[in-house]
Amino acid sequence: SQTIHQWPATLVQPVGSPLSLECTVEGTSNPNLYWYRQAAGRGLQLLFYSVGIGQISSEVPQNLSASRPQDRQFILSSKKLLLSDSGFYLCAWSVFVRRELFFGEGSRLTVL
């Protein structure tokens, strides 16, 4: 069966510090991968999605970036965090033709 792992689960970072969140999927090949952000009391905002290695589509320009160095690995990064980057970050995967999204456990980021 397929599983998705995301880490770290919780982090508190100062403004201006870098960020790296990592996500890996097991049990499937060539998944579609997604990064979402959920601000407190709000819906999920799509940040990036990837249909293959090195292929990244961005929905928000801001100060975040994503990379897919391996088929089942997806990384969200920032060089300098802003207060507005605080939120609940969710990695998700889907099989291309079925399209249901399956989420990782989430990473709660607080920027102080």
Q: Using CB under 8 A, pick the residue from 13, 17, 28, 32 that binds other proteins.
A: 32
Least separation in angstroms between residue 74's CB and other proteins is 15
- Each residue 44-83 as x (binds other proteins by CB under 8 A) or -, in order, gives x-x--x-x--------------------------------
Rounded to whole angstroms, what are the CA distances from 69 to 38, 44, 52, 82? Answer: 25, 25, 10, 25
Give me the residues that bind other proteins (CB under 8 A), please.
32, 34, 36, 41-44, 46, 49, 51, 90, 94, 99-106, 108
